[in-house]
Amino acid sequence: MDAATTRFDFSGRTVVVTGGSRGIGRAICEAFATSNARVQTCGRRALEAPFSDDRIRFECIDVRDPDATGAWLERCAAESGGIDVLVNNAGGAPSVPSADASANLTRKILELNLTAPLILSAQVHRHMMGRPAGGVIVNISSLSALRPTPGSVAYGAAKSGLLNATKSLAVEWGPAIRVNCIVAGLVVTELTEGHYGNDAQKRRIAGAIPAGRFATTADIAHACLFLAAADSSYVSGAALEVTGGGEWPPTIPRPREGAASED
């Protein structure tokens, strides 16, 4: 158990996480469970590796099916009388040249990364209203929402739309429900093997990040804990950038390491 998870206590609270079977979603589930929350999560496929913490419950659910997600949230709420936190984490997209992307692929990417979080948020609304500490929704967006995303245009557009939806829902549903999002930077997971290239390419990419490294799944999970905690009760409609500082601007030369600065 690390300092970030022991800092927050979610005892007696129910947390729902979409796409929690692996990668970032799994880390989010484990972080909340370690912080004493009851965690309900889902994935489109069966678990490849079971969770070691019995506070995490998993169901096979396709988040693009609103009937399935609505019924699932009903079951989650029935077990504890309501839902305190929803993390809209499920998402992703293949890299495909825009001229070659089929209409069906574009529709599926938008459904997974934008439509599903919007519908889940609307469905969870009534399960959060009246909760003692109010409800919290955390949307997982991406650095792709803030910059051009050639080869993944629909994904970038969807994640950008999620930023706007976050701010709009925060205004519409406050103060009962806080809505925030995380702008995730370049994250290394078991799903990104080979995505960033060979070791030399990875070093070059990491060198362009002010933090000097890729994000870990724990970095994103800890940000979720912060946004969902009572300590953040005045944070709503925010986009928390967990990007390691962004990227060095390509039009500005890098200073040579060890070079003397001018006063």
In tens, the pLDDT along 29-72 reads 999 999 999 999 999 999 988 999 999 999 999 999 999 999 99
Per cent of the chain over pLDDT 90 is 75
DSSP string, the chain: --HHHHT---TT-EEEESS-SSHHHHHHHHHHHHTT-EEEEEESS--SS--S-TTEEEEE--TT-HHHHHHHHHHHHHHHTS--EEEE---------GGG--HHHHHHHHIIIIIHHHHHHHHHHHHHTT-TT-EEEEEEEEGGGTS--TT-HHHHHHHHHHHHHHHHHHHHHTTTEEEEEEEE--B--TT-TTTT-SHHHHHHHHHTSTTSSPBPHHHHHHHHHHHHSGGGTT--S-EEEESTT----TTSPPPPTTPPPP-
Segments making up each domain of the chain, as ranges:
3-242
Is the confidence at residue 194, as pLDDT, over 80? Answer: no
pLDDT: which is higher, 253 or 58: 58
Q: How confident is the model at residue 238 (pLDDT cuts 50, 70, 90)?
A: very high
Catalytically annotated residue among 155, 173, 214, 226: 155
Is the confidence at residue 118, as pLDDT, over 60? Answer: yes
pLDDT at 123 (0 to 100)? 98
| Per-chain mean pLDDT for the chain | 91
**234 has catalytic annotation:** no
pLDDT (average), residues 95-112 = 96
- CATH class assigned to 3-242: alpha beta
